[in-house]
Amino acid sequence: MGVKNTSLFLLFFTRFIAIGKDNRKLGHESSCKFRILSSGLKSLILIERDFVGYTSPPIVIVEVVVAEVVVVVIVVVVKLGIVVVVVVVVVVAAVVVVVVVVVVVVVVVVVVVVVLVVVVVVEVVVVVVVVVVVVEVVVVVVVVVVVVVVTVVVVAVVVVTVVKVVIVVVAEIDIVVAVLLLLLFLKLVVVVVVIVVIVVVVIVVVVVVVVVVIVVVVVAVAVVVILTIVLVVVLVVVDRVVVVGGGGGVVVVVVIVVVVVVVVVVVVVVVVVVVVVVVVIVIVVVVVLVVVVVAVLVVVVVVE
């Protein structure tokens, strides 16, 4: 019995070293580990059975097959887990991109609508209105083009990377290589998301600044023009009333003053509302983007 056990131990270590050398020559270190594990399980089972005294060939064969099945199941589970993680990360990245694009589009639409309302309210100066409309159209077109280009690039990068990773994982490769590719893909997703967030923040800030400046200029010019026209009308009307000799000069002046005050109040209220809305939108967008970036970074850290 002792001689047999010694022979089995020598057989086990001889197979262990031989498999290790052959596989290191081929460069398949991780696959070598699984084959060593399988061979080791077989040898240990043979040694254990022989030591206890159960030397029945059917039992040994069954347990060797079970050992092979266990190793195969471990490999399949690891690869399937990597595929699931890749799919989850891709879905999260796609959702983040879609949310960012939707937020940017909504912000642009809201700002344009608000500016158009302000322009309609103060459309006394036709030249200024035309200039404002042209500038708004240019800004909106530029923003939409930039957002579309960034979205297409991000989606293309994500899709290409996912396809490559899935192909590599599903194929017969080493687990170590698959894990390294997965980590590389996660880092790539983080970099792309951060770049998209930075670009979106810059675009939103530029659009907001341009719109606020345009609104302030339009409102200021409109108020000056309106006040000038009103003052001229007041002077003409008062002069005519006094010259004609009617007693309604004071009433006319009071009515005109009331109209001017109402116009100024309306313009001021509109400007304040626009500024408040723009500030709130910018704050909300920045907060959402920061939360998204932090969430993505946390997910990547947890996965790693």
- Closest-CA residue to 234 (of 252, 261, 221): 252
**Tens-place pLDDT, residues 246-289:** 445 555 566 666 666 676 667 666 766 776 676 677 667 666 76
Average pLDDT along the chain: 60
Q: What is the pLDDT of residues 132-189, one digit of tens each?
A: 555 655 666 666 666 666 666 666 666 666 666 666 555 555 566 656 666 666 666 6
If pLDDT is split at 50, 70 and 90, which confidence band does 7 have? very low
Note the Cα 112 to chain centre separation in Å. 24
What separation, in Å, do the N-terminal and C-terminal C-alpha atoms of the chain show?
Answer: 50
- How far apart are alpha carbons 291 and 297 in whole angstroms? 10
- What is the rounded CA–CA span in Å between residue 227 and residue 250? 19
